[in-house]
Amino acid sequence: MKIATFNINNINKRLANLLQWLEATEPDVVCLQETKTTDSDFPASTLRKAGYRATWSGQRTWNGVAILTRNAQPIESRRGLPGDPSDKQPRYIEAAVNGVLIGCIYAPNGNPQPGPKFDYKLAWLERLIEHAATLYASGLPVVLAGDYNVVPTDNDIYATKSYADDALLQPQSRAAFHRLVAQGWTDAIRARHSSARIYTFWDYMRNRWPRDAGLRIDHLLLSTDVAARLEDANVDKAVRGRPGASDHAPAWITIR
């Protein structure tokens, strides 16, 4: 079973890129972020023709998450994190797929910091930590996949000082991510590549893709049961270099 996460950065604008990648790699489950479309404009029929069913939660212009499944119907169990009924931003959706519970995550960016956007980011991560603890305690096989907008360590970013004030690298952001993982989750990429420089995001600015000036902010966290079945994990880096590409590349795992 192959499970991937991909910040598509506008699904309708980059639908051809997405379909090309789906056809070439045939993931069984895909968590998408930044779909940037209303629910009514989500390209469900086109994806179905390509062999994928979906559940999604979107809004015009910003945010948006979706779970795509091949040869299966995702059984949605939750949309939105618990803990703040006033939060209407579509950043979390959850579904069961072939015996695995999939949480699709698009955490807030948090810039500029300090400020209300950073405060929202930290509060959202706290809600994620609390919900993840409940999922982990359930004993179910769970994968929490998505764009966490956190660079966990200095080994997850190219050598630079230009991000020193960025919300993705702040001690509070990193501490929240580490507390989440410390519940018992396995960071799949690091489980397979303990110290390699592996990135999932390259900003469009300052020639960062040709320079391989990247960040690892897209993560797949695995519960104990899933981690025991992990076979491989990696990033389809070449996808970032295609014409009209998202600024992210898909990260993925395969499990027995």
List domains and CATH numbers for the chain: 2-255 (3.60.10.10)
Task: Please say whether the beta carbons of 212 and 200 come within 8 A.
Answer: no
* Burial of 59 per CB tally in 10 Å (0-12, 13-18, 19+): middle
Helix extents (H) in 182-230: 188-192, 224-227
The whole-number average pLDDT for the span 161-190 is 98
- Phi/psi for 144 (5° steps) reads -105, 105
| Cβ contacts of 11 within 8 Å, gap of 6 or more | 18, 32, 35, 36, 37, 42, 43, 64, 66
Q: In what order do the strands lie in the sheet with 29-33?
A: 52-57, 65-70, 29-33, 2-7, 251-255, 230-235
Mean pLDDT of the chain: 98
The whole-number average pLDDT for the span 188-215 is 97
What the block records as the tokens of 120 is 């929202």
pTM: 0.98
What the block records as the tokens of 151 is 């660079």
The span from the CA of 168 to the CA of 6, in Å, is: 18
In the structure, what pLDDT confidence band is assigned to residue 59 with cuts at 50, 70 and 90?
A: very high
DSSP conformation class of 78: E
Q: List pLDDT tens digits, range 121-166.
A: 999 999 999 999 999 999 999 999 999 999 999 999 999 999 999 9
Q: List pLDDT tens digits, range 5-54.
A: 999 999 999 999 999 999 999 999 999 999 999 999 999 999 999 999 99
| Residue for token pair 């507390």 | 179
